[in-house]
Homo-oligomer: A and B are copies of this chain.
Amino acid sequence: MIKSWMALKMDVHLENSPLSRKLGVFVALSQSEVTVLNGLHQRRRTFVAGRDLVDQGQSDQAAYILCSGWACSYKLLSDGQRQVVDFQIPGDFLGLRSVLLRVSDHSIVPVTDIEVTEVHAADLLDAFAKTPRLAAAVLWAASRDEAIVVEHLVGVGRRDAGERLAHFLLELGTRLTLVGMGSKAGYACPLSQYMLADAVGLSAVHVNRVLRQLREKGLLTFRDGHVTFDNYAKLIEFAQFDRSYLDEIGPLLK
């Protein structure tokens, strides 16, 4: 059986990559802009699940655009604890920050086998010079990434386990929907409960229990690599989810 979160792997048309799809939701990209964008998708590479791509403390000038599969950026503490900062899905950048800060402050590991395209700092600057609107769009994407981390911080700091998990899974669903990999019904999700635990700052045991509660409340089901929203409206209400930070676009791009 082909895992559906890999479906795009067989079917990436450059004209409609997840990145241009994501950006295209907000900016009507002109033909030339799409061309420049596609020009970034040159050096194609693949990585296998589980083997780190970037290591904390490593110097590396390259960033990547994720084309298919899921990745995970995390930080390791010296006592072995792990905090997942964010998961990346197709259309997201990997390690953009490592290009700016000399030392990567986090590690990145593919959750599934992934396909990426390598982007050097120079390529990006070139592209920006050609189409300023694209520069603004990428800057917007980076700001959105920061907003996601901020929302994540709020969840971990101030929401209880149930709300936190629900909010997190809703956010992923919204992001996936924007690139055509999810809907209000649910989405394919390759995360283990352990990874989920490291993301929301709980123990895996507790994640398991809370998922059961969410299921029993008829809100969502997390099973066999699939998230099902059993009652989308009630879930949004329960998690106090406000999606505006994910798809609002600023004045620079209007």
Contacts and interface: CB of A to CB of B under 8 A. Distances in A.
Interface of A: 59, 61, 75, 77-78, 81-83, 85, 97, 99-103, 105-106, 121, 139-140, 142-147, 149-154, 156-159, 200-201, 240, 244-245, 248-252
Contacts of A144: 101
A83 B149 contact: no
B248 A101 contact: yes
A149 B154 CA distance: 11
Contacts of A154: 75, 77, 83, 85
A240 B77 contact: yes
A59 B254 CA distance: 14
B103 A244 contact: yes
Given A78-B240, A143-B100, A159-B77, A150 B201 contact: no
A105 B171 CA distance: 15
A77 B143 contact: no
A140 B103 CA distance: 13
Contact of A244 (B61, B83, B105): B105
In the complex this chain forms, how many copies of it are found?
Answer: 2
Interface majority SS on A: helix, strand, loop or mixed? helix
Contact of A97 (B147, B157, B251): B147
Contact of A201 (B106, B142, B146, B157): B157
A156 B153 contact: yes
A79 to B, nearest CB: 8
Contacts of A78: 240
A100 B99 CA distance: 21
A201 B158 CA distance: 6
A106 B151 CA distance: 10
Contact of A83 (B59, B121, B140, B153): B153
Nearest to A200: B157
A140 B102 CA distance: 10
B252 A143 contact: no
Contacts of A61: 251
A203 to B, nearest CB: 11
B248 A103 contact: yes
A179 to B, nearest CB: 19
Nearest to A150: B85
Contacts of A200: 157
Contact of A85 (B140, B153, B251): B153
